[in-house]
Amino acid sequence: MVVLQSPITFIVSIPPVTRYFTLATILTSLLHAWFRWQETDITSFLALVPGSSIFYPWTFISSALLETTILGVIFSLITIPPSLRYLERLWGSLEILKFIIVTVVASNVIVFGFSWLEYLATSNIDFLYSMQYSGQMSLQIGVLVAFTQLIPEYQVQVMGVIKARVKTLPMAYLGLSTVFTILGFQCPWIIIQFGWFVSWIYLRFYKKNTNDTVGGMDTYGDRSETFSLLSWFPPFVHPVLSVLANFVHSWAVRLRLIPSHGGDLENGGYSPLPGNSRAEAERRRAMALKALDQRLANSNPPSNSQTSTSAAPQTPRVPPTAATAVPVAKPKNNVPESDLGDIGTAKVDGQ
């Protein structure tokens, strides 16, 4: 017998930051819709308008809670709450709150400054007052970057039709943003590009690694080669991009904008973190792959014909090799894999 869960029990089971962020999104969007129905425009008080937001600084945060269309509300509620729920259980409430604030606010600050630069270069007032940035596009690309860091090789299946590896989704979304921006739809599509870069910078250098200490000291960021800036781009642009990336990184370290662990971060020539945490991460990935392989083997027991003595000998199963095995990043605080159902049907390619 299936026991249906009451709505109150389900709401209480949602982690607090995810619960309140979703509630704030619904209430803000409903408030805007009600005022618009009353023929009163309050968009400039909630959305980011480069020409006026300097007088309404709260819009650098409130704009992420405002969806001005029904489709926008539906898409945000389908994608963001399940994603935040998974990440909050993995990272904790404080870390997911910091991630939301950094991704949203920093992206809005960049698009605010970019719009003013466009106005100063062209004297076109439309860049200041005709573009109203709102919605959760920057946060959507941010959670995709986070999933690329955590579960890059999982295959997401949407409605049984669209299948893609998690690590391909951010660049697909970024490519869509680039196309619409070139076609003249800068608002709001360009903010996806800023959200991607901000979230990667934060996860790469600044995010505290929950429950992962080295020698009693907290560790920050992810310096693995698989999460470097070059890993997002095709190989033919690596020679040029690595020069630019290393130049910017060296100056950022000199100005103490980012912490330094020595070496060439973007070319993979950097020194290991204290305590050889990179080796520990590889060990965890190997253990996760082994556990997944055993689970798949146990879920498919041999049939009677296979166990009988008259059955033909079977081809032995070839163990994963370096060419076929895909390292899977196991969540560090042991979030059950069943939670992945919140973000789609996932499986590891090659199993």
- Residue 216 has a pLDDT of 59
Segment (H or E) for 345: strand 345-348
Q: Strand pairing of 217-220 and 208-214? A: antiparallel
69 within some domain = yes
Q: In b/e form, how buried is each residue of 188-216, taking b as 16+ CB within 10 angstroms?
A: bbbbbbbbbbbbbbbbbbebebbeeeeee
- Look at residue 35 and give its three-state secondary structure: helix
Long-range contacts of 29-35 (CB under 8 A, 24+ apart): 29/65, 29/66, 29/67, 29/68, 29/73, 32/66, 32/68
Q: Note whether 188 and 239 are same-domain residues.
A: no
316 within some domain = no
As beta bridge partners, residue 157 has 163, 345
The mean per-residue pLDDT over the stretch 190-198 comes to 94
- Residue 284 has a pLDDT of 62
Domain that holds residue 237: 224-272
- Residue 202 has a pLDDT of 92
284 within some domain = no
The number of domains in the chain is 2
Q: Note whether 91 and 62 are same-domain residues.
A: yes
* pLDDT above 70: residue 80: yes
User: Do 22 and 77 meet the contact criterion of CB atoms below 8 Å apart?
Assistant: yes
Q: Note whether 108 and 29 are same-domain residues.
A: yes
* pLDDT above 90: residue 190: yes
Lowest mean pLDDT among 18-32, 153-167, 320-334: 320-334
Q: Note whether 130 and 252 are same-domain residues.
A: no
User: Do 278 and 241 meet the contact criterion of CB atoms below 8 Å apart?
Assistant: no
Segment (H or E) for 155: strand 154-158
Q: Note whether 108 and 203 are same-domain residues.
A: yes
* Segment 25-49, tens digit of pLDDT: 999 999 999 998 988 888 889 999 9
115 within some domain = yes
Helices (H), 58-184: 59-62, 70-91, 93-122, 126-129, 137-150, 169-182
CA 329 – CA 152 distance, rounded (Å): 8
Lowest mean pLDDT among 39-53, 133-147, 207-221: 207-221
The mean per-residue pLDDT over the stretch 193-209 comes to 91
Average pLDDT, the chain: 78
Q: Which of 90-99, 225-234, 266-275 has the highest mean pLDDT?
A: 90-99
- Residue 160 has a pLDDT of 67
Last residue of a domain, one of 272, 296, 312: 272
Lowest mean pLDDT among 71-85, 280-294, 327-341: 327-341
Long-range contacts of 305-308 (CB under 8 A, 24+ apart): none
CATH code for the domain in which residue 208 is found: 1.20.1540.10
Question: Where does the pLDDT of residue 61 fall: very low under 50, low under 70, confident under 90, or very high at 90 and above?
Answer: very high
* pLDDT above 60: residue 318: no
- Residue 263 has a pLDDT of 41
146 within some domain = yes
Tokens representing 85? 């729920």
Q: Note whether 86 and 146 are same-domain residues.
A: yes
Q: Which residue has the higher pLDDT, 162 or 127?
A: 127
* pLDDT above 50: residue 307: no
Q: Note whether 239 and 102 are same-domain residues.
A: no
CA 263 – CA 86 distance, rounded (Å): 34
Q: Is the dihedral of CA 85, 110, 69, 34 positive or negative?
A: positive
Task: Tell me if the pTM is above 0.75.
Answer: no
